[in-house]
Amino acid sequence: MPIFWMISTSLKAPGKIFSIPPEWIPETIVWGNYIDAINSFPFLRYTINSLIISGISVVGGVLSASLVAYAFAKLNWPGKKLWFMLLITTMMLPPQVTMIPLFIFYAELGWINTYLPLILPNILGSAFYVFLVRQFYLSIPKELNEAARIDGASELYIWSRIYLPLSKPVLATCAIFLFMFTWNDFLGPLVYLQQSEMFTLQLGLRGFQQQYGTRWNVMMAASLIVASPSIILFFYFQKYFIKGASVTGIKG
Amino acid sequence: MTMKRKESITGYLFFLPALIGLVFLLAIPIIFSLYISFTDYNMYNEFNWVGLRNYRNLFNDRLFFRSLWNTIYYVALSVPINTVVGIFLALLLNNDKIKGLKFFRTTFYLPTVVSGVAVALLWQWVLDPNFGLINNALNYIGIQGPGWLTSTVWSKPSIILMNAWAVGGTMIIYLAGLQGIPNSLYESATIDGAGPVRKFLNITLPMLSPTIFFNVIMGVISGFQVFMQAYIMTDGGPNNSTLFYAFYLYNKAFRDLQMGSASAMGWILLIITLALTLVIFKFSSSFVYYEDNSKN
Amino acid sequence: MFKYKNNKLVLGLLLSTMILGACGNGDAEGNGATNDTSTEDVDANDTDDNVDAGENGDTTSEEDITIDFWHIYSDGPMAELIPELIEEFEADNQHITVDHLGTNFWDYFTRLNTAVAGGVGPDLAMNDTTTLTVRAQNNVIVNIDDFINEDDFNTDDFYPILMEMMEYEGSYYGLASDTDVRVLYYNRAHFEEAGLDPDSPPTNWEEWEEYTEALTIIDDNGLVEQMGFSAEIGISNMSLHTLGWTNGGDWWDEEGKPTFTEPENVEALEFMERINNIYGENAMSAFRSQASALDYNPFIAETVSMVVETNNLLQDIERYNPDMDYGIATIPYNVEPVTYSAGFNYEIIDNDDDASARAAWEFMKFLTSEDVQLRIHNELGNLVSNINAAESEELMQNENWVSIVEEMEHARFIEFINELPTWNSTLNSAEEAVLQSNVSPEDALQEAQEIAEDAVN
């Protein structure tokens, strides 16, 4: 897998990176590349920044997506279909087109150099996640709601006490994706953050690419370090993907 | 207050976060971008109204049509391929009994996590016509490998291949969907004497259909916006064979500074995607099965 | 009741995420209010420079001001030099503080252009010299004529072509930082081996082709052991438009209409095709792969005898193969000598703030002064715009460098075309089509011509 090549490159000395035939296991292993990677930019600060953005986005995003998805899947309210189509449609405009208007909009609000433009879109009902969770909720039988309603529970109760626990696999999926997208996003931080104290890890990674003289080996080391939290998170969330961990429908 | 009224209000309350997002964070820039598509804005000047000129010019632009064709080609092939591979992998990795299950799933997920440039570089290497892994392997079995990214015929398939490799994302979604299928269904089927194929066709597929629906729609929407590889690796070549719509748009906007034209392109894409999506939605009622019998 | 508790919980969570988001502002509020110099490298945290007791330049009652400077160096030696330069500048200009931000070259324009479009751009920015026109046209950057006159600034210190590029409708809008030129590098050892005179590199296309054939060595498998020359991107930095120029061709006429299909231009593309045909498709493909595997130009690996490259190759040769016996010459031409140049300049963004503009001007003067330019050259090997620096005594000791600076006499920038600023990329596609996909030069140029016509309308 190409991942091995990444790992192998990250351990190479500068001259050997592009040798033919490709050297899978480097002759001399240069662990120093990893040290270089961490020293090339304010690693700790950027990590904290990235964590703030991704952390808030994940928590807020998962909650709001499932809340809104519930509204679409289980409640009836006027204009529901129309709003849903509108929501989906917002995903169809390529981001490059809305990038400048969005930027100007945020600039007018004075939100440049804050994390608001990076976090808010995720926690205010992002179409992708709403759609995903909605599909999942639609597979949960309505009888569940009806039974609970007869017992006098409010919708909020049903949502938080019944649906949330039931939807762990899909919520875990949302968390994984949300984390990954925000963690790997570089375009957003690139244009919205102008003070380097606020930069994220991705921006640190981009810094390696120069017009002349990119340090590929150090860059690969850095990429791997930066990618690790997503991998760890994924690994951790596996427990929600084990068959039988969740039961849909309470039969009988 | 009637039950119905109460439900409506609750519905809107729950919908509130998305409503705020839609109105404040999305509507304004989106409408703004529509306005820009009727101007000759180039990021530095004022917004001068030019009416339909941008749209008209696009219809006379051969590269516009080329990029549209390239993108349609990509979507038409990648969506089915990714769907099949995604479901297949999810089914494969849904078996608790496999040792090191977590490890395997992570290996498939890995590609999606590692960011753009490193991956692009990798693939350039793997797909190298002379020294790349793939052609070397093909050589062993005596097949002369194609030019991949350097060939006008094989460049798009190369990119489809690269994105299929990153199918881990859709695989997870299918995995999540599979978790939602109650075991009891399979158990009763076994009792009734159904074999694995039967189970797959009559239980798995229908129960998974909402998820499949999601992935198909998302596949179409994001497929039409395919961009990364062209940007990092091919620059639209060779000979504009990988000039994808979103990449052409980006060039127009940020290299040629023709924001007006680029916005027009964006809106045209929106209309095309919307039309296609609506068609899929219409057909969905016949193949998507929702447990609670609701439609759409 | 559960209902209210959960309600509060959810609302609370949503609200707190928003507040946290707003607070996640970091220490910096808005632009340029802080006193540190920021960089994407390890911080050279030194805020004591303003207390320096050294000599002062300008200490008349000037108000303290902070300006933002954006540049393209996010890693490497320049990224370290810039904070040092800023420190020195601030010591001599105590009322000015310079905050700087380096962004890697590929992302730089995205960041800069969006920021300027949104009105939150820097005060002084580096930018692409070729596109200065569009910014001057739209009053995005400041007209610096007044500054030049007030300070009696000597524009003769800079290469004439570069000052020309800084002009729009008779006024100056920036100062060039550095640029490059392209020359023919040739391997003198190979020349000798092939029986050619190492002191007489080819001067026109006929000789060029002849020499290429003489220098080429093809092994028994039909693969290229030694390539005489190739104009292909990735091996040479020999763009089609430059080749056209050397043949007397032009790509645009006075009315701004494309003239891609001019016979001189077609001949240029045909020339490129003929050269590549010496090797054949398979050999070229294999060679390409090999070449892309190197960390540096194949010329340095001595598998190619002649290449066209920028002056930056000099540094690479020094680094990877310092003992190589090579020479430098003007690109062979049929009609007139010409070389393609592209570079960066400094511009003051118009933020409607005179004080910032003036402070930015002071810094710009500093950055283009002889001493600083020399230091910049020493880090990157670039052809700096200040003639006194570029042609300083120590540099001119090097013969090769002398050849480089002489090229400035016939340096040429690509025309700026409003509707299609990257028209040279369109030509690249045509070149690729011919060299890699067997399209005929006429057809390829015809298509490029039509694309250009579509754009210009």
**Residue range C170-193, pLDDT digits in tens:** 999 999 999 999 999 999 999 999
For residue C405, tell me if it sits in a domain. Answer: no
**Over chain C, what is the mean pLDDT?**
84
pLDDT at residue C418, rounded to an integer = 85
Q: Which of residues 49-68 of B touch C (CB under 8 A)?
A: 57, 60-63
Q: Is 70 exceeded by the pLDDT of residue B238?
A: yes
What distance in Å separates the CA atoms of residue B175 and residue B90, rounded to the nearest whole number? 5
* C99 touches C38 (CB < 8 A): yes
C402 touches chain A (CB under 8 A): no
Query: Which residues of chain A carry a pLDDT beneath 70?
Result: 1-2, 14-27, 209-214, 242-252
More confident residue, B184 or B291: B184
Lowest mean pLDDT among A183-187, B77-81, B139-143, C172-176: B139-143
Q: pLDDT band at residue C75, thresholds of 50, 70 and 90?
A: confident
CATH number at residue C451: 3.40.190.10
Q: Is 90 exceeded by the pLDDT of residue C86?
A: yes
**Residue B128 is which amino acid?**
D
Residue C361 shares a structural domain with residue C372: yes
Contacts 24+ apart (CB under 8 A), C46-55: C46/C87, C49/C87, C49/C90, C49/C91, C50/C90, C50/C94, C50/C97, C52/C91, C52/C94, C54/C91, C54/C92, C55/C92
pLDDT at residue C39, rounded to an integer = 39
Pairing of strands C171-172, C167-168: antiparallel
What distance in Å separates the CA atoms of residue C225 and residue C298, rounded to the nearest whole number? 12
For residue C211, tell me if it sits in a domain. Answer: yes
Nearest to C38 among A112, A161, A196 (CB): A196
pLDDT at residue C3, rounded to an integer = 37
Pairing of strands C96-102, C182-187: unpaired
Pick the CATH number of B54-287 from 3.40.50.150, 1.10.3720.10, 3.40.50.920, 3.20.20.70: 1.10.3720.10
* C124 touches C353 (CB < 8 A): no
pLDDT at residue C2, rounded to an integer = 33
ipTM of the complex: 0.82
Q: Which two tokens stand for residue C24?
A: 């996640």
B97 three-state secondary structure: coil
Residue C188 shares a structural domain with residue C175: no
pLDDT at residue A227, rounded to an integer = 84
Residue C379 shares a structural domain with residue C259: no
Segment C202-220 mean pLDDT: 93
Residue C71 shares a structural domain with residue C87: yes
What distance in Å separates the CA atoms of residue C176 and residue C190, rounded to the nearest whole number? 38
Q: Cβ C13–A156 below 8 Å, yes or no?
A: no
A172 touches chain B (CB under 8 A): yes
Q: Which two tokens stand for residue C166?
A: 């800084």
For residue C147, tell me if it sits in a domain. Answer: yes
Q: How many domains does chain C have?
A: 2
Residue with tokens 């570079």: C343
More confident residue, A235 or C168: C168
Closest-CA residue of chain C to B10: C7
Residue C292 shares a structural domain with residue C311: yes
In percent, the amount of chain B with pLDDT more than 90 equals: 18
Residue C306 host element (H or E): strand C304-310
Q: Cβ A104–C2 below 8 Å, yes or no?
A: no
Lowest mean pLDDT among A240-249, B2-11, B214-223, C356-365: A240-249
Q: pLDDT band at residue C8, thresholds of 50, 70 and 90?
A: very low
Closest-CA residue of chain B to A97: B263
**Residue range A114-128, pLDDT digits in tens:** 999 999 988 987 889
pLDDT at residue A220, rounded to an integer = 78
Identify which of B130-139, C34-43, C357-366 has the greatest average pLDDT.
Answer: C357-366
Lowest mean pLDDT among B96-100, C52-56, C61-65, C277-281: C52-56
What distance in Å separates the CA atoms of residue B13 and residue A159, rounded to the nearest whole number? 13
pLDDT at residue A16, rounded to an integer = 61
Q: In terms of Cα–Cα distance, which of B116, B269, C315 is closest to A89?
A: B269
* C216 touches C306 (CB < 8 A): no
What distance in Å separates the CA atoms of residue C235 and residue A200, rounded to the nearest whole number? 36
Domain A53-214: state its class.
mainly alpha
Q: Cβ C109–B254 below 8 Å, yes or no?
A: yes
What's this model's pTM, rounded to 2 decimal places?
A: 0.83
Domain that holds residue C100: 63-180+342-400
C305 three-state secondary structure: strand
Residue C435 shares a structural domain with residue C291: yes
Q: Is 50 exceeded by the pLDDT of residue C57?
A: no
Contacts 24+ apart (CB under 8 A), C209-213: C209/C271, C209/C274, C209/C275, C211/C306, C212/C275, C212/C278, C212/C305, C212/C306, C213/C278
Inter-chain Cβ pairs, chain A and chain B, closer than 8 A: 270
Residue with tokens 């490298």: C41
* C131 touches C345 (CB < 8 A): no
C285 touches chain B (CB under 8 A): yes
C182 - beta bridge partners? C310
Q: Cβ A155–B292 below 8 Å, yes or no?
A: no
What distance in Å separates the CA atoms of residue C384 and residue C375, rounded to the nearest whole number? 10
Lowest mean pLDDT among B40-54, C210-224, C344-358, C369-383: B40-54
Lowest mean pLDDT among B60-74, B282-296, C441-455: B282-296
Which residues are within 8 A (CB) of B9 and not within 5 positions of it... i.e. 6 or more apart? A77
B8 touches chain C (CB under 8 A): no
For residue C15, tell me if it sits in a domain. Answer: no
Inter-chain Cβ pairs, chain B and chain C, closer than 8 A: 76
Q: Is 70 exceeded by the pLDDT of residue B20?
A: yes
HSE-CB at C140 with a 13 A cutoff on CA atoms is: 28
Q: Which two tokens stand for residue A185?
A: 């996003």
Q: pLDDT band at residue B37, thresholds of 50, 70 and 90?
A: very high
What distance in Å separates the CA atoms of residue A68 and residue A74, rounded to the nearest whole number? 10
Provide the strand spans (E) within C362-446: 383-384, 411-412
Segment B24-39 mean pLDDT: 89
What distance in Å separates the CA atoms of residue B33 and residue B50, rounded to the nearest whole number? 14
Residue C295 shares a structural domain with residue C430: yes
C348 - beta bridge partners? C124
**Residue range C392-426, pLDDT digits in tens:** 999 999 999 999 999 999 999 999 988 888 898 88
Pairing of strands C217-218, C224-229: antiparallel
The 10 Å CB-count burial string (b at 16+, else e) for C321-357 is eeebebbbbbbbbbeeebbbbbbbbbbbbbbeeeebb
Q: For residue C2, which residues of chain A lie inside 8 Å, CB to CB?
A: 154, 157, 161
Lowest mean pLDDT among B100-114, B165-179, C168-182, C241-255: B100-114
Q: Is 60 exceeded by the pLDDT of residue C9?
A: no
For residue C19, tell me if it sits in a domain. Answer: no
**Residue B249 is which amino acid?**
L
* C317 touches C219 (CB < 8 A): no
Domain ranges of chain B: 54-287
Closest approach of B50 to chain A, Cα-based (Å): 18
Q: Cβ C422–B44 below 8 Å, yes or no?
A: no
Q: Cβ B44–C437 below 8 Å, yes or no?
A: no
Residue C372 shares a structural domain with residue C316: no
Segment C187-214 mean pLDDT: 93
For residue C280, tell me if it sits in a domain. Answer: yes
Q: Is 60 exceeded by the pLDDT of residue B100?
A: yes
Q: Is 70 exceeded by the pLDDT of residue B295?
A: no
